[in-house]
Amino acid sequence: MSSTGDLIHVVSHEDITQRRARLGRILIRGSFLVLLLTVTAQALQALGFWDLGFENWQPTLITYVAWCICLCVGQVLIRGEQGKRILFVLPAALFVVSLTVIPLLLGIAIAFADWNLSSPTGPKFAGLGNIERMLSDPFYWNALTNMVWYCLAVLVEYAVAFGLALLLSAQIRARRFFRVAFLLPLMLSPVAVSWMIGKSMLEFRFGPVAQLARALGWENPAFFASPELAKVTMMVLDAWIFIPFMMIMLLAGLQALPQEVIEAARVDGASAWQTFRKVIFPLMLPVSLTAIIVRIIFKLKLADIVITITSGGPGGATDTVTSFIFREYRDRSNVGYGTLLAIFYLLVIVIGLTLLMRGLSRWMRPYS
C-alpha cells in the first residue's frame, strides 16, 4: 500500500497496538481456516468418503462470505487509517472477483466436460471433444458471422443518432418533450417490445406497419420470411431500442463543445455543412468513438429480441451467439458445449476489442 496519488492527506496520530494488529490477523486467518475446513469437509462428502449430512454447498458459501467480511474488518484493525481507505474499494473488488473469476474458472473446467444437467450421471471429461464439435458446427460460425453484420449496423445507428442529437441541440421549442419521447424506446423492456413491434405491428396480415408497406406499394410485406430481410428487420428493431442511448451520449458531447470555435467558423463564412464537416465532427470524434465502442459492447450481448421473435430463424439468419447458445442449452441442456462456445466468444470479443482500441488510438494519435 503506497500513498502516492492521494488527493486527501490525513495525518493520523493513532498508534495501532500489537494486540489490535494481532487480533486482526487472527480474525482473517481464523475465518480462512474455517472456510478451508468447511470446503474440505464438503469436498470429502462429495467424493463419497463420509456422510456429514450436507444437502448443498451453502455452508461453504456462508463461510466464504464470513471470510470476506473478516478480511474487510481485519484491514481496519491491522492498518488503521489506511485500512479505512482500503475499505472503500475492497467490498466491491471482493464482490466482483468472487462473481466473475470463480464462475470463469469453473466455466473453463466445464468447457472440457460433457455434462447434461438434467441427467443424473453428472459431468464426464470430454477432452477436446467439445472443441472439435465447435470447429465443425456450421450454426455457431454462422452466428459469429451474424454478429459481424450486427456490429456493422452500429455505424448506421450512429449516423441516425448523430442527426437526432444535432436536431435536439438546435434552437427548438418543446425540447423537453422531444427528449422524453426520443428516450422512451430505451426504457421499454425488449421482450415487451418484441411483442409490441415484432409480433404485432409487423404482423403480416393486419399489423399497421405491414399495412403501411402495402399502401406504399410493397405487395408482400413479410418481414421475417427471407433471411436477408429478417436480419435487417432485427437490426432496425434493435436500433429502435438503442438509438436513444447513442443519441444522449452524442448530445452530451455536443453540449460540451466550445462555442467560440463554432462561432469563429461562422464568422469566417463557413456554411452550415462546412461548420459540421470541418469543425463539429472532428471535435466530436472522441465522444463518437466512445459511443460507438460502448454501443458495440452492448450489441455483442444482443439476445432477448432474437430469442423472443424469431428464435434465430429463418435458418439461423438472425441468430446471435447468445441466442444460439441459449437454444443449444434449452434443447439439449448440455452445459459443457454451451460454455465452451461462450468462452470462445469471450476470447474473440476481447481480442477484437483490444485490436480495435489499439488501432483507434494509433489512428487518433499517430505520432505518440
Partner 1 sequence: MTAAVFRDHESDLAYRARWWTSRAVIYGVLILWAIICIFPIYWTITTSFKAAPDVMQGHLIPFVDYQPQWLGWRSLGLSPDTIGAFSTVRDQFLSRFTNTAIVAFSASGLAVLLGSLTGYGLSRFGYQFGYMKNSDISFFFISQLILPPVVLALPFLVLYKQLALLDTHIGLILIYTLAVLPIVVWIMRDQFMSIPTELEEAALVDGLGVWGAFARIILPIALPGMIAAFVLSLVLTWNEYFFASLLTSTATITLPVMVASQTGSQGISWWTMAAISFAAILPLIVVGVLLERFIIRGMSAGSGK
- Residues 161-190 close enough to bind partner 1 by CB under 8 A: 163-164, 167-168, 170, 172, 176-190
Nearer to partner 1, 164 or 317 (CB): 164
**Closer residue to partner 1 (CB): 88 or 366:** 88
For residue 283, what is its C-alpha cell? 471535435
- Minimum CB separation of residue 30 from partner 1 in Å reads 23
Cβ distance to partner 1 smaller for residue 31 or 288: 288
Confirm or reject binding of residue 270 to partner 1 (CB under 8 A).
Answer: no
334: left (phi over 0), alpha (psi -120 to 50) or beta: beta
- The answer to whether the CB of 67 falls within 8 A of the CB of 34 is yes
124 secondary structure, DSSP code: E
* Residue 21 CB, nearest approach to partner 1 (Å): 19
Which of the stretches 23-31, 124-132, 217-225, 293-301 binds partner 1 when contact is defined by CB under 8 A?
293-301
Nearer to partner 1, 70 or 344 (CB): 344
Q: Which of these, 228, 225, 181, lies nearest to 202 by C-alpha position? A: 225
* Beta carbon of residue 194, minimum distance to partner 1 (angstroms, whole number): 7
Q: How far is the CB of 47 from partner 1 (least distance, A)?
A: 14
DSSP-assigned letters across all residues of 161-225 = HHHHHHHHHSS-SSHHHHHHHHHHHHHS-HHHHIIIIIIIIT-TTT-HHHHHHHHTT-S---TTT
Q: What's the rounded Cα separation, in Å, for the pair 353 and 345? A: 12
The one segment of 17-25, 124-132, 133-141, 248-256 that binds partner 1 by CB under 8 A: 248-256
Q: What angle do CA 134, 135, 141 make, to 5 degrees?
A: 80
Cell numbers representing residue 51 in the block? 456422510
SS3 123: coil
User: With the C-alpha atoms ordered 331, 334, 335, 340, is the resulting torsion angle positive or negative?
Assistant: negative
Shortest distance (Å) from residue 127 CB to partner 1: 19
Let me know: does 327 contact 143? Beta carbons within 8 Å: no
Contact set for partner 1, span 219-238 (CB under 8 A): none
Residue selected from 70, 77, 126, 249 as contacting partner 1 according to rule CB under 8 A: 249
Query: Which residues ranging from 298 to 337 are in contact with partner 1 (CB under 8 A)?
Result: 300-301, 303-304, 307-308, 321-322, 325-326, 329, 335
User: In the set 245, 275, 295, 318, which binds partner 1 (CB under 8 A)?
Assistant: 245
Q: Is the Cβ of residue 128 or residue 192 nearer to partner 1 in the bound state?
A: 192
Residues numbered 22-81 forming contacts with partner 1, rule: CB under 8 A: 55-58, 61, 81
274 binds partner 1 (CB under 8 A): no
Determine how many CB atoms are found less than 10 A away from the CB of residue 285.
13
Judged by CB under 8 A, which of 8, 47, 148, 216 binds partner 1?
Answer: 8
Cell numbers at 205, concatenated: 396480415
Q: What are phi and psi for residue 116, nearest 5 degrees?
A: -95, 115
Q: Is there binding between residue 5 and partner 1 (CB under 8 A)? A: yes
Q: Which residues lie below 8 Å from residue 230, measured CB to CB, with a gap of 6+?
A: 223, 224, 310, 313, 314, 317, 318
Kindly state the smallest distance separating residue 225's Cβ from partner 1, in Å: 19
Closer to partner 1 by Cβ: residue 165 or 366 = 165
- Applying CB under 8 A, what is the total number of residues that bind partner 1? 110
Applying CB under 8 A, which of residues 27, 197, 230, 235 lies at the interface with partner 1? 197
Q: Which is nearer to partner 1, 305 or 317 (CB)?
A: 305
Are the CB atoms for 319 and 146 separated by under 8 Å? Answer: yes
Task: Find the binding residues for partner 1 in span 88-147 (CB under 8 A).
Answer: 88-89, 91-93, 95-96, 99-100, 102-104, 106-107, 110, 115, 117
- The x, y and z cell numbers of residue 18, run together, are 500489537
